[in-house]
Protein backbone atom coordinates (compact mmCIF):
# COMPACT_ATOMS: atom_id res chain seq x y z
CA UNK A 1 0.00 0.00 0.00
CA UNK A 2 2.84 2.43 0.75
CA UNK A 3 4.34 1.93 -2.73
CA UNK A 4 1.01 2.93 -4.32
CA UNK A 5 0.67 5.97 -2.07
CA UNK A 6 4.27 7.02 -2.75
CA UNK A 7 3.63 6.68 -6.49
CA UNK A 8 0.42 8.74 -6.26
CA UNK A 9 2.13 11.42 -4.17
CA UNK A 10 5.07 11.67 -6.55
CA UNK A 11 2.81 11.76 -9.59
CA UNK A 12 0.55 14.44 -8.07
CA UNK A 13 3.49 16.66 -7.08
CA UNK A 14 5.12 16.28 -10.49
CA UNK A 15 1.87 17.06 -12.31
CA UNK A 16 1.25 20.06 -10.06
CA UNK A 17 4.71 21.50 -10.60
CA UNK A 18 4.57 21.00 -14.36
CA UNK A 19 1.10 22.51 -14.57
CA UNK A 20 1.82 25.41 -12.23
CA UNK A 21 5.07 26.35 -13.94
CA UNK A 22 3.25 27.74 -16.99
CA UNK A 23 -0.21 28.62 -15.70
CA UNK A 24 0.40 32.20 -14.52
CA UNK A 25 1.23 33.43 -18.04
CA UNK A 26 -1.88 31.95 -19.63
CA UNK A 27 -4.19 33.01 -16.80
CA UNK A 28 -2.73 36.54 -16.77
CA UNK A 29 -3.40 36.80 -20.50
CA UNK A 30 -7.00 35.74 -19.92
CA UNK A 31 -6.53 32.57 -21.95
CA UNK A 32 -7.45 29.08 -20.83
CA UNK A 33 -5.06 26.76 -22.61
CA UNK A 34 -5.58 23.72 -20.42
CA UNK A 35 -9.20 22.78 -21.20
CA UNK A 36 -9.96 19.27 -19.95
CA UNK A 37 -6.67 19.07 -18.05
CA UNK A 38 -7.04 21.77 -15.40
CA UNK A 39 -10.52 22.77 -14.28
CA UNK A 40 -11.56 26.06 -12.69
CA UNK A 41 -14.77 27.71 -11.59
CA UNK A 42 -14.72 29.69 -14.83
CA UNK A 43 -13.73 26.69 -16.95
CA UNK A 44 -15.28 23.48 -15.60
CA UNK A 45 -15.38 22.06 -19.17
CA UNK A 46 -16.76 18.52 -19.14
CA UNK A 47 -17.36 18.72 -15.37
CA UNK A 48 -19.83 21.64 -15.57
CA UNK A 49 -22.03 21.52 -12.47
CA UNK A 50 -19.32 19.85 -10.35
CA UNK A 51 -17.51 23.09 -9.44
CA UNK A 52 -19.18 23.59 -6.05
CA UNK A 53 -17.78 20.38 -4.61
CA UNK A 54 -14.34 20.48 -6.23
CA UNK A 55 -13.05 24.06 -6.14
CA UNK A 56 -10.89 24.52 -3.04
CA UNK A 57 -12.10 27.19 -0.62
CA UNK A 58 -9.15 29.27 0.53
CA UNK A 59 -8.93 31.46 3.64
CA UNK A 60 -5.88 33.67 4.20
CA UNK A 61 -5.18 35.05 7.68
CA UNK A 62 -1.84 36.81 7.76
CA UNK A 63 0.66 34.25 6.49
CA UNK A 64 -1.59 31.28 7.26
CA UNK A 65 -3.61 29.66 4.49
CA UNK A 66 -6.45 27.24 5.19
CA UNK A 67 -7.87 25.10 2.39
CA UNK A 68 -11.12 23.14 2.45
CA UNK A 69 -12.73 21.32 -0.44
CA UNK A 70 -16.46 20.85 0.33
CA UNK A 71 -16.49 17.36 -1.16
CA UNK A 72 -17.99 14.25 0.45
CA UNK A 73 -15.45 11.50 1.03
CA UNK A 74 -16.12 7.82 0.28
CA UNK A 75 -14.00 4.90 -0.84
CA UNK A 76 -15.37 5.30 -4.36
CA UNK A 77 -15.11 9.09 -4.69
CA UNK A 78 -12.80 11.38 -2.74
CA UNK A 79 -10.36 14.30 -2.82
CA UNK A 80 -6.87 12.89 -3.18
CA UNK A 81 -4.68 15.93 -2.62
CA UNK A 82 -4.33 19.68 -2.05
CA UNK A 83 -1.25 21.58 -3.25
CA UNK A 84 -0.22 25.23 -2.79
CA UNK A 85 2.25 26.91 -5.18
CA UNK A 86 3.30 30.58 -5.34
CA UNK A 87 2.91 32.63 -8.52
CA UNK A 88 6.59 32.11 -9.43
CA UNK A 89 6.21 28.32 -9.17
CA UNK A 90 7.64 27.97 -5.65
CA UNK A 91 6.16 24.88 -4.01
CA UNK A 92 4.80 25.71 -0.52
CA UNK A 93 3.24 22.39 0.44
CA UNK A 94 0.70 19.69 -0.17
CA UNK A 95 -1.41 17.20 1.70
CA UNK A 96 -2.60 13.80 0.50
CA UNK A 97 -5.90 12.39 1.74
CA UNK A 98 -7.50 8.99 2.18
CA UNK A 99 -11.25 8.43 1.87
CA UNK A 100 -11.45 8.51 5.69
CA UNK A 101 -9.98 12.05 5.90
CA UNK A 102 -11.63 15.44 5.67
CA UNK A 103 -10.23 17.39 2.69
CA UNK A 104 -8.74 20.18 4.80
CA UNK A 105 -5.17 21.44 4.85
CA UNK A 106 -3.13 24.36 6.18
CA UNK A 107 0.00 26.10 4.94
CA UNK A 108 2.26 28.97 5.89
CA UNK A 109 3.26 31.50 3.26
CA UNK A 110 6.81 32.87 3.25
CA UNK A 111 7.35 35.82 5.58
CA UNK A 112 5.82 39.04 4.23
CA UNK A 113 4.61 37.32 1.03
CA UNK A 114 2.15 39.48 -0.87
CA UNK A 115 1.04 38.20 -4.22
CA UNK A 116 -0.82 35.54 -6.12
CA UNK A 117 -0.72 31.86 -5.38
CA UNK A 118 -2.47 28.76 -6.68
CA UNK A 119 -4.26 26.03 -4.79
CA UNK A 120 -5.26 22.76 -6.38
CA UNK A 121 -7.67 20.05 -5.35
CA UNK A 122 -7.44 16.68 -7.08
CA UNK A 123 -10.45 14.34 -7.15
CA UNK A 124 -10.07 10.67 -7.98
CA UNK A 125 -13.04 10.86 -10.41
CA UNK A 126 -13.27 14.51 -11.48
CA UNK A 127 -9.64 15.39 -12.04
CA UNK A 128 -7.55 18.46 -11.18
CA UNK A 129 -9.20 21.73 -9.97
CA UNK A 130 -7.38 25.01 -9.52
CA UNK A 131 -8.05 28.38 -7.92
CA UNK A 132 -5.90 31.50 -8.16
CA UNK A 133 -5.97 33.78 -5.13
CA UNK A 134 -3.70 36.23 -3.37
CA UNK A 135 -2.28 37.05 0.02
Q: What is the pLDDT of residues 46-81, one digit of tens each?
A: 999 999 999 999 999 999 999 999 999 999 999 999
Which domain range does residue 6 map to? 2-134
Looking up residue 90, the CATH number of its domain turns out to be: 2.60.40.730
How many independent structural domains does the chain possess? 1
Q: Cα(119)–Cα(8) distance, rounded to whole angstroms?
A: 18
Contact between 60 and 135 under an 8 Å Cβ cutoff? The reply is: yes
Where is 111: in which H helix or E strand? none
Phi and psi dihedrals of 22, rounded to 5?
A: -120, 0
pTM across the whole model: 0.75
Amino acid sequence: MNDRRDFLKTTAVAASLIAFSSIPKSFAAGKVEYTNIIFTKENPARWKGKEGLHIPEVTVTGSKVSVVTPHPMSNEHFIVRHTLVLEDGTYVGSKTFTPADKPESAYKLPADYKGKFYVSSACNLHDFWLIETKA
